[in-house]
Structure 1
């Protein structure tokens, strides 16, 4: 989630279960648990969306790669290196 959206998003309290040692270390280091959990969850959501997009588009990606392997890149004659 973009940083600006996370600052204005509606918040809801929730419970999380964390290992004691990790929680202890985070508190000793002054880590804001809500911010750290939000950041980690946002990364997990982004990664899952990426994986699902790749899976959903797997056939199209494969077809395009085969097309390029056989015919080359479109407009390749106009590329300047």
Structure 2
């Protein structure tokens, strides 16, 4: 599977607006904002890429599922469970 993004790309500054109380409480706990944001963005990117892949392949998935319903899975006759 291809990487979601280039993890070796250089860092780039970004201006963000964050709830002030949330920011205060995370700073009080020494939470690394950059690392936390990168992790959250990576998770969101993966979720959206997966949803996009499913959408793009919906027809093929539907066809495969219909085939399996009608003919069963390859090797079913050899299954012992």
Q: Same fold (TM over 0.5)?
A: yes
> Which runs of at least 4 in structure 1 moved beyond 2 Å after TM superposition?
none
**CA root-mean-square deviation:** 1.7
- Segments of 5+ residues of structure 2 without an aligned counterpart are none
TM-score, with length taken from structure 2: 0.86
TM-score, with length taken from structure 1: 0.86
- Segments of 5+ residues of structure 1 without an aligned counterpart are none
For residue 11 of structure 2, what is the aligned residue in structure 1? 11
Paired with 1:52 and 1:16, the residues of 2 have a C-alpha distance of 26
> Which residues of 2 match residues 28-43 of structure 1 at below 5 A?
28-43=28-43
> Which residues of 2 match residues 1-81 of structure 1 at below 5 A?
6=7, 8-81=8-81
Alpha-carbon offset, residue 46 of structure 1: 0.5
Q: Which has the higher contact order (CA 8 A, sep 6+)?
A: 2
The count of aligned residue pairs is: 78
* Structure having the larger proportion of residues in helix: 1
